Structure 1
Amino acid sequence: MDITNTPTPGVLTKEDTIEELNDVTRLMIDSFKGYREAADEADDNWALKNEFDQRAEARSRHIASIQNYVRELGGEPSTHGTARGAVHRGWMNFANMFRDDEKGAIESVENGESFLANRIEDCLQDGQLDATGQQLLQTAHADVCAAANYYDRIDG
C-alpha cells in the first residue's frame, strides 16, 4: 500500500486550504450577485443603492484576493456561485413582487450576510486553513459582519 499521498490526520495540506477557500468563494460570489441585484431593486433610493454598490465592490475585492491565493497554492479558484444562491435570489425576486422591493432587498441581503458570516466562522474554526487563508477569511469576515450589522440596524 502506497501511503505517500495519504494525508496524515491533523496535518494541514494545501488541498485543505484550497477546498475551504473555494467553498467560501462560491458563497461570496452569491453575495456579490445578491448585492448587485439589491442595488437594482433600490434604484429609487440613491443612498441605499450606493451602499449596495459599495458592498458589492468590497466583496469583489475579497473574492479576487482569495482566488489569487488559491492560484498561488496551485489550485483552480472557484469562479461561480452556488446553485443554492441562485435559487435564493430567484425566490427573493419572486417574493419581492408581493411587497416593497427595497425592504425585501434589505432583508435578503441581511439573511445572506448572516449565512455567509456563519460559514466563514465555521471555516476559521475547523483548522483547515493555513495562516494566509486564515488572514484572508478573517478580513472578509469582518466586512461581512459589518454589513450584517448595518442591514440589521436599518431593517430594525
Structure 2
Amino acid sequence: MSDEKHDNLDLISGEAGAHPVGTGIGATGGALAGAAAGTLGGPIGSVVGGVAGAVIGGLAGKAGAELVNPTAEEAYWRERYATEPYYEAGRTYDDYGPAYALGWTGVGLYGGEFDAAEPQLARAWEAQRGRSSLAWPHARHATRAAWGRVNENLTDAVVPLDNDDVIAVLNDLLETCRDGEYGFNTCADHTSTAQLKVVFQQRSKDCTAAALELYNHILRLGGTPKDGGTASGAIHRGWAAVRGALSGYSDYAVLDECERGEDTALARYRKALKEALPADIRAVVEGQRQGAQRNHDQIKALRDQYKLGA
C-alpha cells in the first residue's frame, strides 16, 4: 500500500477533490433507490441494487451535498421531532428517524421539488423504513420536513463567496445579534414578572455571546465589525414596537413582540445559510441559527402559557 496521502479522494472515482460528506450522502441516497429497486428481486436483488445505487448516488450527490451534514441533521431532528405538528403521541425517534434520513438524502438523489419526487420516495420508504412503524402517508410529513430543511440551506451559487462577501454576511448577523441583545434587555426592563426578567436577561446574554463570536470571526478574516445594531437597527429588524410601547404592554404582549423579533432573526440566519459560506463559517452560523430557534421556541411556549392565563 502506498504511503502517499491525497486529501478528499473520491471514494468512487479515486480522484482528488471529492467532498467526503457529499459522496457519502450521495451514496446513501443512491443505495436507498437501488435497494428499493433491488427488493423486487429478493434479498440478492437488494444487495445488487444497493451497490449499484450507491455508485450512481455517490456521483450525483457530490454536487449538492456540500451543505448537508448528516450528523447535524440527525441531531437536529432527534431534538425536535416530538414538537413537530405531525408528531403522534407515544411514538419514538426510531419511527421518524428513517423518514428524516430519507428526506435529507433524497434531495441529493432526486433534486427538484418534493412533490415531484414523492412517488420515488414512497417506494424507497418501503425498502428503507427499517423498524419504523409509520406507513408512508404518515412518514411523508417527516421526510418532507427534512427535505425542506436541506433545500432551504442549498445555494444556487456556483462558486463560494469571496472573503469580503463572507465578512458582509457575518456583519449582517452581528447586527442581528446586537438587535436581539437590545430587544431582550428592553423587555427585561418592562416586565415586573421575575421569571420573565430572568429569561429575557439570559436571552440577551446569549445574543451578546453570539455577537462576540461573530465579531472575532470578522476580525480573523481581516474585516471591520460594524457598530450598528442598537435602537435604530432594531426598528428595521423586528423590534420596532419594543421601545416606546412596552411600558403599557402586558407580559403576553411583550412575549408576542419578542417572538416577532426572533422570527426576524431566524429569517436572517436562514438567508445567510443560503449563501455559499466556507465550511467553518457555515458551522458557526448554523450553530447560532439553532440557538435562535431554541430562543424562539422558548419565547413562543411562554407566550402561549401567558395567553392561557390572560
List per-residue Cα deviations over 1:69-126 (Å, max 9, x = no partner): 10000000123216341466463333334432x2232111110111111110111112
The answer to whether residue 257 in structure 2 is matched with residue 108 in structure 1 is yes
Could you tell me which residue of structure 1 aligns to residue 211 of structure 2?
A: 63
How does 1:81-96 map onto structure 2 within 5 Å? 81=229, 83-86=232-235, 89=239, 91-96=241-246
CA distance in 2, matches of 1:20, 1:38: 27
Structure 1: 4+ residue segments shifted above 6 A: none
The answer to whether residue 78 in structure 2 is matched with residue 78 in structure 1 is no
Q: TM-score, length-normalised on structure 2?
A: 0.44
Contact 1:38 1:52 in 2 (8 A): yes
CA distance in 2, matches of 1:54, 1:145: 15
CA distance in 2, matches of 1:37, 1:14: 35
Deviation at 1:68, TM superposition (A): 0.4
| Alignment partner of 2:289 out of 134, 141, 144 | 141
Contact 1:34 1:89 in 2 (8 A): yes
Which residue type is aligned with residue 288 of structure 2? A
SS at match of 1:140: helix
| Alignment partner of 1:53 out of 181, 201, 205 | 201
Larger radius of gyration: 2
CA distance in 2, matches of 1:78, 1:84: 12
Could you tell me which residue of structure 2 aligns to residue 6 of structure 1?
A: none
List per-residue Cα deviations over 1:9-50 (Å, max 9, x = no partner): 6242111110000011111111110011011112x2111111
Which protein, 1 or 2, shows the higher relative CO under an 8 Å CA cutoff with sep ≥ 6?
1
Deviation at 1:58, TM superposition (A): 1.1
Q: TM-score, length-normalised on structure 1?
A: 0.84
CA distance in 2, matches of 1:84, 1:113: 14
List per-residue Cα deviations over 1:108-146 (Å, max 9, x = no partner): 11101111111101111122x222221111111111100
How does 1:8-23 map onto structure 2 within 5 Å? 10-23=159-172
Percentage of matched positions with identical amino acids: 21
How does 1:124-135 map onto structure 2 within 5 Å? 124-127=273-276, 129-135=277-283
Which residue type is aligned with residue 141 of structure 1? R
Q: Are the structure 2 counterparts of residues 99 and 69 from structure 1 closer, same or farther at C-alpha, using a change threshold of 3 Å?
A: closer
Contact 1:116 1:144 in 2 (8 A): yes
The answer to whether residue 187 in structure 2 is matched with residue 34 in structure 1 is no
Contact 1:92 1:104 in 2 (8 A): no
Could you tell me which residue of structure 2 aligns to residue 3 of structure 1?
A: none
CA distance in 2, matches of 1:45, 1:91: 20
Which residue type is aligned with residue 96 of structure 1? L
Contact 2:160 2:278 in 1 (8 A): no
Q: Are the structure 2 counterparts of residues 11 and 90 from structure 1 closer, same or farther at C-alpha, using a change threshold of 3 Å?
A: closer
